[in-house]
Structure 1
Amino acid sequence: MTRLRLDGVGVRIDAAQIVHDLTIDCPPGAFVGLVGPNGSGKSTVLKTVYRAVRPSSGAVLLDETDLLRDLTPRQSAQKVAALTQEHPHGFDFTVLDVVSAGRTPHKNAWSLMSRADHEIISAVLGIVGMTAHTERTFTSLSGGEKQRVLLARALVQEPSVLILDEPTNHLDISTQLNLLELVRSLGITVLAALHDLNLAAAFCDQLHVLHNGVIVRAGSPREVLTPDLIAEVFRVHAHCGTHPVTGRLHLAFSSFPAGADQATAEFELVKEGSI
């Protein structure tokens, strides 16, 4: 298994500094979550790992190997796979075609699929529960089925690190749980951006909270997802409890009263003597 480490990573796009001096350590086999409000920089951070964005500072390390300096894109794709938010919606290909594309990093130009390739693809289709759907077109699938196919395409790369960018968006509750349970059962190193804090608490070993491009807290879900932090970063009240089945942290939320943010701002101005 592989340790993933983002070491002092910064990302500047045009004139804007999107991510500031960010360090995230993902131990071998750990499921590490990245949470934060919309626009906090989560997707940008993940893109530095699967090479869609180049950091302006710092390094992305796989064990002691610098992903950008020491590996070619093809070599990186043999080690890191991603299930991203941005993927083509107009696939006019079968499930088998889509999943088979994940073997590209292991193939030479124009080389045919080997028996070993077919065995890997067949095994992964079985793992994600899509063996019976290999001849269906991608566009005919449900949202959950599409996510399973795209996960299979990532897994046939045989990665040691899996990147997930909001993998449960637009999925029903059962499919969300099944997908994350499947990913967790794989035993590989995972870095995932998640919107749902209860899913993050249920599945992640460690969490990093990103706000305005900066990590503001890191640790276990219980250490990180406290009422004070959630109020500060997500602008809601959080009521913390324990899930009756899993024993893990479970959260309930309520909004701030109308005008609370304005009242807080005015109170701060009063304290400072500005009004």
Structure 2
Amino acid sequence: MRILALLLVKTKYDMRNLWLALFTLLGTIINAQDLKARAKEIQEEGIELYRSEMASWYGTDVLKANYDKMENVVGYFSYIDGGVPKCIFFSKNNKVLATVAFPANYNPRDAKLDLVERDFTTRELDYFTIRQSANEKVKTDTIFKHYNNTSMNLIPIITKDKIKKVYAVTGPSVDNIVVFGNDYLISFNDKNEVKNVEKLHKGIIIQNMKDEKVEHTISGLHSHVLENWQTITPTDICTLMLYYKFTNWEEYFIVSKDFVSMWRNKTNNLVIMNEKDFKKLTEMIEKSEKNNSNKN
């Protein structure tokens, strides 16, 4: 953490030198391919979580504006159907009351609303089942913590390999803050039964969207200490993408004893480095800055 903080100070929040040195260094790191594959997996899942949450955020707005029987809606979930984000609203009788499908820009005016009541599709039934099971788990298992001015959102995921999981993510219910942590991964077996629950962060991390002491903050960071989650998590990426337009954090860093994860919001690009390789990166930047200073 100290090394990264010093790096941010030395570069005066100008991250161009960092990314230039980063991609130069990656070509010389022997184990870069393994970390690159891991980064790709986390990045893709984080983006899927984001797309699902965006459908949920705006799907509710679309439904409220066009449906006058909201009292019949008892829950909802979102998922990606053939590349299209959809938000499904259901009744207490486990019937689909409405489906809201979104284009890539998530503009509510472009959303397609279907108010035909119907049964779940086979795929939707799996999403519904694991989502409901996760909801009961959150209510009854003491591993889950609940904090004032927050709410816990459930995001079901079924991978191409038919791995079923639900991420429980804590979001703020007040303005001007971003919440990381207090998030969990609930894994399921083929019968849609909970087989494991794990914390993704040790606790809750609350950060202000804007730093009053800094006129224009474009970077942020926090640390990870749990042994199983030393790198950035898919939920971290989801949160960063959801709140990017409010924070303007162009880069964000996750630091642990073994790794430094670097997320670039402008390009939705993730790089994960070993801590030792990151030290090499800082040395490259310091050397480059020193040479430039001597030339001037």
Q: TM-score, normalising length from structure 1?
A: 0.32
Q: TM-score, normalising length from structure 2?
A: 0.30
Higher relative contact order (CA closer than 8 Å, sequence separation 6+):
1
